[in-house]
Homo-oligomer: A and B are copies of this chain.
Amino acid sequence: MRIALCGGTGDIGEALALRWAYHTDHEVLVGSRDPDRAREKAEEYETELDSRGVEATVKGFANEMAADRADVVVLAVPAYHLVDTVEAVAESLDEGNVLVTPAVGMKRDDDGFHYNAPGAGSVAALAAEAAPDDVSVVGAFHNLAAGRLANLDADVDWDTLVFGDDPDAKDIVSMLAEEIDGLRALDVGGLANASEVEALTPLLINVAMNNEGMHDLGVKFH
């Protein structure tokens, strides 16, 4: 399978690119608004993987080129760039492609981080509104500490919550999630259940901020 990471030069994009290239045979395409930056980071990832004896080809492209070549397109961009990014790649998407959103809207005040739901109800709903009708939108990978996930020496034991209105698209994304060692995919239903998933990310940050020795957190449901 070919996976494009739009915004693959950022924290969560880097983490997912490295993990998929490390643990799977999927082809990883790093996307960025700046194709030079994408190529530079893709080379960095290849070097990192090579140093661990993994010969993976990771290529960098402009976001729309990466999306054009991919089956699954992850929107690894901040919430405020999400709609722009969907619009930039929309013409590159074919029927059956899956768009994945890990984005969360947050605001910070003196007390901590808070979920900042957009008018659409959730960031995922925003992505779905902007996406072409024949492309399925799936939410996943919101509640992962990108820094720890990007460190291939770090073991993780986390759940990732997957939601969407197209069961087949959810299955594909859940499979991709579980191919990463230490990640378990849990189904949380349709896009209408997005906001509680997105709200978990500021909670993770608040827990990390207020408890000594806790950082780079994920969650496990049991």
* A101 CA to B197 CA, complexed, in Å: 22
Q: Please tell me if A120 contacts chain B, counting CB pairs below 8 Å.
A: no
The count of identical subunits is 2
Is there an interface contact between A221 and B195, defined as CB atoms closer than 8 Å?
no
Q: Which residues of A contact B (CB under 8 A)?
A: 109, 111-112, 114-115, 157, 161, 186-190, 192-193, 195-197, 199-200, 202-204, 206-207, 209-211, 214, 217-222
Q: How many whole Å from A90's CB to the nearest CB in chain B?
A: 26
Instruction: List 14 contacting pairs A-B, 8 Å CB cutoff, sorted by A.
Output: A111-B193, A112-B192, A114-B195, A161-B203, A161-B207, A186-B207, A186-B210, A187-B207, A187-B211, A196-B206, A200-B200, A207-B221, A214-B221, A219-B221
* A219 CA to B222 CA, complexed, in Å: 6
Q: How many whole Å from A136's CB to the nearest CB in chain B?
A: 16
Q: How many whole Å from A65's CB to the nearest CB in chain B?
A: 36
